[in-house]
Structure 1
Amino acid sequence: MTTVLSVRDLKVEFDVPAGRLPAVNGVSFDLFAGELLALVGESGSGKSALTMGLTGLNRGPRTHISGTADFDGTDLVAAGDKQLQRIRGAGIAVVFQDALAALNPVQRVGKQVAEMIRQHQPVSSKEAALKAVSLLRDVGLANPEQSARAYPHQLSGGMRQRVMIAIALANDPGVLIADEPTTALDVTIQAQVLALLKRMQREHGSAVVLITHDLGVVAEVADRIAVMYAGRIVEIGTRDEVLNHPRHPYTVGLLNSMPRIDGPRPRRLAAIKGNPLTGVDRPPGCAFAPRCDLVQDECLEQVPPLENQVACLRAGVA
């Protein structure tokens, strides 16, 4: 398999009043061409901070990013702002969760798609407008010509999300990052957007990084799954490996907290005790240790490395 993105020891830290917050704490992974990698975990686990760090969208005077992220021979961490501007939208594109906030409210959506095309391709305004309509048709808008003339507020949530996907795919990027793309959409529209992402993945050959906390979504579309907790990947593997044979206690806890349609109906769903880490202070050992039923003394002293696809000294015991 061809590696399109190789991330090593990525750290993203933010200066906050209490000190330096380690939002992403030494993440390493490879993304392969044509695959859909799902990043899952509770809110605050570092999923969005990780992907925004790769694209430079969370850079600022109070942000500290280190490590390496090789994309097509360019280290995204070391790249300057102008380099990242050339890569964003052309090599790596992002679909944000709130399409209404991401789209320009006073510009017609067709013009916004065409603007992304002209930013990276030497085409005329007319050519870009025609391609914009074609892209809106490709993402499933029933009347693309009419939709191209609409403003964002005149479209439904699902239609706006399709517009965002059209913008993201305007220049056939090698990597597409979808940050909670089905948030606030009803179940039927969620399924349509996910099916669209999978179809675009196949037709355009883009590798997709899907950020979500919904394991039902993951089970439908993911090729591989990376489970994040407290800024680190604690388990990574194929969809079958992670969902059917979880090895990390956190992954087991996430899966047990999901309602099932087979087997006896429990009186109440299982829950992971305690709360995820959100502050600047982190325990010296495993970050999940305060919530883990399998914790031992060694877990309180050592930060388990990600080895054999899992970061746990007690892997497979649960």
Structure 2
Amino acid sequence: MTAVSDVSKTGEPAANGRVAGDEVLRVRDLHVTFDVRAGRLPAVAGVDLTLRRGEVLALVGESGSGKSALSMALVGLNRGPRTTITGSVEFNGMDLVRASDRELRKVRGNGIAVVFQDALAALNPLHRAGAQVAEMITTHRAVGKDAAWNRAIELFTDVGMADPHRAVRAYPHELSGGMRQRVMIALGLANNPDVLIADEPTTALDVTIQAQVLEVLKELQREHHTSIILITHDLGVVAEVADRIAVMYAGRIVEYGTRDQVLFDPQHPYTRGLLDVVPSLTGPVTGRLSAIPGSAVTGVERPPGCAFAPRCRLAGPECEQPVELRQRGGEQGHLDACTKEDHR
């Protein structure tokens, strides 16, 4: 598989015109398999990624494509007796795949933080919101409780809480969905991490609150130069905040590039299928939206070649062979895993 790092050294501009900086996280040949009744489920099957300082990298794909399994494997949150994780995840000179649980506990919430999708389930219902943020600070920093509490109030202000002094004393069930998501972001930023993993941070929020949460993430990225891995299936969210995009299908990356490259010049048939099902706000109404035929591959059995071939109108005999992520013409840094020269 062609490593994304080969392209990352070229210094191509991000979608917003900014030139990405130093590499913060380097993922190489990452595999995550789960032992299930039917056999071994390859949730992530050989992924290479590079995350740079101050950028937003979006992982896009249908449910079951491996986005969350990939992100949780970065900090060992899906480790277990029935899970096998191989490859390497380099962060600050440490390989997180081979790190001990004790070493990972020092990284989680400190160097790499996670904003979970379901804030109500992630927050402790028995503790006040501010106390949970303060605990995150005292776990990794030698500061007193009063200083940590004051820092929690500052963080609640930073993430846009209307009344931070009241919010820090509230229990999770006393806060709205949008406010709970802001608490999760405050938790993630409590120790100024280098990397923030946001797993579907706007799911189940109405569009107004979604816009507010996205604005918080963008503002914090600008101010603190935090690198963000954004996991989502919402291409509207991706268009709003992403610098680069990695499209995942059946545990593999099938297309990779800047936001403009992927959204405005999609190469892989799966990426084009995802974009075709998004309704347009401009132009004539063309009737029913097109849909990708069939269902995503989620079982233990995977095709020997391109996993998308059974659903692809362009599939041919050549798709039965393994397909590498590679660049064929076009702009520098835009990669896809399709055998067809003409993807349209």
How far residue 317 of structure 1 moved from its aligned partner, in angstroms, is: 2.2
2:18: which partner in 1?
A: none
- The aligned counterpart of 2:75 is 55
Corresponding residue of 1:228: 248
Give the C-alpha shift of residue 203 in structure 1. 1.0
Equivalent position to 2:214, from 153, 172, 194 = 194
Displacement of 1:263 in angstroms is 1.7
What one-letter code is carried by the residue in structure 2 that aligns with 1:317?
Answer: H
Task: Return the letter of the residue paired with 2:23.
Answer: T
Written as runs of structure 1 = structure 2, the 5 A alignment for 1:79-158 is 79-158=99-178
Flag the 1:315–1:148 CA change in 2: closer, same or farther, 3 A: farther
User: Does the Cα contact within 8 Å between 1:248 and 1:316 map onto a contact in 2?
Assistant: no
> TM-score normalized by structure 1?
0.99
- Alpha-carbon RMSD: 0.7
How far apart are the structure 2 equivalents of 1:146 and 1:267?
49
Please list the CA deviations of residues 192-236 of structure 1 after superposition, one character each: whole Å capped at 9, or x if unmatched.
001101111111111000000000111111111100000000001
For the residues of structure 1 that align with 2:226 and 2:341, how far apart are their CA atoms? 33
- Other-structure match for 2:325: 306
Distance 1:204 1:20 in 2: 41
Structure 2 runs not aligned, ≥5 long: 1-20, 328-334
What number of residue pairs does the alignment pair up?
A: 317
Matches of 1:168 and 1:26, distance apart in 2 = 28
Cα distance in 2 between the residues matched to 1:12 and 1:201: 29
Instruction: Provide the C-alpha distance between the structure 2 equivalents of 1:209 and 1:149, rounded to a whole number of angstroms.
Output: 30
Identity, in percent, stands at: 65
Distance in 2 between residues matched to 1:298 and 1:256, nearest whole Å: 25
Task: Say which SS state the counterpart of residue 336 (structure 2) adopts.
Answer: coil
Which consecutive unaligned segments of at least 5 residues does structure 1 have? none
Change (3 A) 1:159 1:258: same
Deviations 1:237-263 (A, max 9, x none): 000000000000000011011100122
Partners in 1 of 2:283 and 2:195 — Cα distance?
39
Taking structure 2 as the reference length, the TM-score comes to 0.91
Moved beyond 4 Å, runs of 4+: none
Q: In structure 2, the residue corresponding to 1:53 is in which secondary structure?
A: helix
How far residue 315 of structure 1 moved from its aligned partner, in angstroms, is 4.8
Query: In the aligned structure 2, how far is the partner of 1:78 from the partner of 1:190?
Result: 36
Q: Is the 8 A contact 1:116 1:170 kept in 2?
A: yes
Kindly indicate whether residue 99 of structure 2 is the aligned counterpart of residue 76 of structure 1.
Answer: no
In structure 1, what residue type is equivalent to 2:343? V
Partner of 1:170: 190
Q: Offset at 1:316?
A: 4.4
State how far apart, in whole Å, the 2-side matches of 1:79 and 1:276 are. Answer: 33
